A and B are shown apart, each in its own frame.
Chain A
């Protein structure tokens, strides 16, 4: 579903602040795969997701989504193929617009927007149904502005928006990092449920090793712009936190000092 070949990305190229973010990344994600991605700060996980989404132009390499070479596509054009949830709960929704207006915007992802009414009469029932499945009581607040929602409610809503038009690939960029542990667990469970029910292909960046191990059928560990661990299927299922730490030390040549990645 996603093929990346020789992707290289350097920020501030040619300046004193030059920073190599991704080095020659080659990766192939199959249909229905749920990939979890871990790594320390600055490892390049979020950069990789943003390169796939078209937020940053890449220096070299090719990105293909569902067979189409999207390397030169703009961010909004790629959006037709991608569902995205961000780390910042503010980023996924328009806070001055109502829940149903946000859903209606998302429901037209990849389609032409004309002078038809912004929310068609038939849509509301579907939205209510999907909101009810979240179990957060949002179905009775469809005309509330999303600015009034909590971080967890907003992330759950953004998740629904991302899958309203079934995406070829769902990109989750630390979407539970800004939430308290209980809410994070709830949003993650919902995420997993949606991915399983719809058979989605997904990539989830996380700082939490236990989450990376508990969810998905494939695990990538990144370090300094490279993929250093790629565990799938049975291999991944057998992994434990200690194994990850050991793998990290062996692959990177030094011990993991990032407490946040360990404990969170």
Chain B
């Protein structure tokens, strides 16, 4: 049955890739959906994670240490963006861009060159392939397992007092301050957590492809948003755990879509254009459908706006 074999040879790598990148999409979910900030630090911290991890492995360190270091580097990158935004009052978008640009130089310093190879060195996946699993199977088990652990941990965290305060900050910072919560701290914690996951994802991807490259983060924020939107479109925005899970599913579906359009003969050079157009279309859908219905985009809760501005 050549068709099924063909579909499997297409789907398995796509699923594996989707799971490796899903950790990044979970990170983007924290800033974009929970904090309501579009954080461009992501583009730099993906590479930072891969670079730090690859540098450790090349130097003879253990893959676990490299992956943990990547996580810590991500925390630091998020902290920088957080300080730029909350303490120095630079707009969130620009703060992220500044950290991202600074990380380009930092990443070159970490790697020494524009890319480093860790081919045939031990990675997080080697113990699984040693057991006789295929490359893709090892990616799926390791990345899928990690994603599940992370989702569970985040579900717990955002249910705690601290996590609730972070969620409320993204929702209504005025109310949060009136309840005695320091919004600056909450935003910074959120950015740190987000970028730590993004860098962790970078470390996983770097180990899977056995090299880190200065360019590998480019466009990752758009890929992340595309995955997020695909997941939400398919699974809706229901229970918090389901939303986190939908992010992972979205990441996998996105990679499958990409694999299919490539199989259909799309030029790989057009991939970023394709993704950008998809995200733009998805983000504008609510407005466009409202326009088609003949009404302008009505903001929710307009009826309860104060009718007597003072």
Contacts and interface: CB of A to CB of B under 8 A. Distances in A.
Given A117-B160, A147-B301, A178 B179 contact: no
A86 B178 CA distance: 10
B85 interface: no
A105 B164 contact: yes
Contacts of A111: 180
10 contacts: A75-B178, A76-B182, A77-B180, A79-B179, A88-B306, A97-B171, A101-B168, A111-B180, A117-B160, A178-B308
B186 to A, nearest CB: 9
Contacts of A113: 161-162, 164-165, 181
B164 A104 contact: yes
Q: Which of A46, A88, A260 has the most CB of B within 10 A?
A: A88
A151 interface: yes
A118 B308 contact: no
Interface of B: 157, 159-165, 167-168, 171-172, 174-183, 300-301, 304-308, 310
Contacts of A91: 172, 174-175
Interface string A61-74: 00000000000001
B167 A84 contact: no
Given A79-B177, A109-B180, A90 B301 contact: yes
Contacts, number: 113
The main secondary structure of chain A at its interface with chain B is loop
A92 interface: yes
Interface in A175-229: 177-178, 207
A108 interface: yes
B100 to A, nearest CB: 28
Contacts of A110: 180
A105 B164 CA distance: 7
Nearest to B33: A96
Contact of B171 (A88, A95, A177): A95
A22 B88 CA distance: 28
Contacts of B160: 114-118
B162 A151 contact: no
Given A95-B301, A260-B308, A101 B164 contact: yes
B159 A79 contact: no
A46 B310 contact: yes
Q: Which of B176, B179, B307 has the most CB of A within 10 A?
A: B179
A218 B306 CA distance: 27
A46 B178 CA distance: 15
A97 B162 CA distance: 14
A82 to B, nearest CB: 8
Interface residues of A, number: 48
B178 A84 contact: yes
Contacts of A86: 174, 178
A109 B176 CA distance: 10
Contacts of B176: 94, 105
A178 B306 contact: yes
Nearest to B181: A76
Given A117-B160, A178-B306, 11 more contacts: A53-B178, A76-B182, A87-B310, A90-B301, A104-B161, A109-B180, A113-B181, A118-B160, A147-B301, A150-B304, A178-B308
Given A113-B181, A177-B306, A178-B308, A92 B161 contact: no
Contacts of A90: 172, 301, 304-305
A86 B300 CA distance: 20
Contacts of A84: 178
A120 B305 CA distance: 33
Nearest to A120: B161
A93 B136 CA distance: 47
A115 B163 CA distance: 8
Contacts of B308: 177-178, 207, 260
Contact of B161 (A115, A177, A260): A115
Given A76-B177, A84-B178, A89-B304, A94 B168 contact: yes
A93 B175 contact: yes
A168 interface: no
B162 A87 contact: no
A28 interface: no
